[in-house]
Every structure is written in C-alpha cells, then in structure tokens.
Amino acid sequence: MPWTISHLPAKRLLTVKTSGTLEQSSLRSMTADLCETLRRQPCKGVFIDYGEAAIRLHLHELYDRPKVIEELGFPREVKVAILFPELDANAQFLENVYVNAGYPVRVFQNLGPAMEWLEE
C-alpha cells in the first residue's frame, strides 16, 4: 500500500493519502512513518484518507490498533480524522476502539466535516 504524507503548516495538520490494499503490515509501516513525521513536525491533527484503499483488516486487527499506535509512540493529544469510502460497521467499530482507549479519533465519509472537526 503506497502512501504520501503532507504537512499543512498553516493549519498545523498532516495529511496522509493512501491507495492500494491496506493490510496489517503496511498499516503498521505507514503509522511508523506518520509517528516519525509527527516527531519532526508536531501538529494538532492528522487527516488520513482511505478513500482509494481496499481495506483488508480483520476485526481483531482493528481492535489492536490502539496498542499498535501506543507502541509506535503516537501522541494521544493529536486528533485523527479518518476518511473511509463507506461508514460501515468496521469503520464505526474502529472509531469506538480508539475513543475507548483515550485517542481523539473520528471516522468520516466526507472531507468537509472531517477538516472542520480537525480545525475545532
């Protein structure tokens, strides 16, 4: 799964654009890259666009995401908006898992509301 991380300094945001097949190993690599970028360029929020990605994660892998990002050193105070092509049960489950673990994460289907929430 290829990804591109961009910095929007005026908004203090990072954006991540993905494509291809999203699996556990590629997601971990992308998250590690994102954490490193956040260490170099601290931001208040991250927008992750999975709109063109084919998500191939099992339920237990979704459940383990907070543990993975904690291991990688993702800052708890950084808001994360995740854009999915469809807000299905898995997307909603992922949001609940993050929120229950204390991370400010929300899932969206449209760019506008996601950016509004990040900029609040």
What is the average pLDDT across 111-118?
96
The predicted structure's pLDDT at residue 99:
97
Residue 1: what pLDDT?
87
pLDDT per position as a tens digit, 23-70? 999 999 999 999 999 999 989 999 999 999 988 999 999 999 999 999
Instruction: Indicate the pairing of strand 13-18 with strand 3-8.
Output: antiparallel
Q: Which two tokens stand for residue 113?
A: 């509301």
Q: The domain that contains 70 carries what CATH number?
A: 3.30.750.24
Domain span holding position 22: 3-119
Q: Is the pLDDT of residue 12 over 90?
A: yes
pTM of the model: 0.94
pLDDT for the residue numbered 115 = 96
pLDDT tier at 75, thresholds 50, 70, 90: very high
Q: How many domains does the chain have?
A: 1
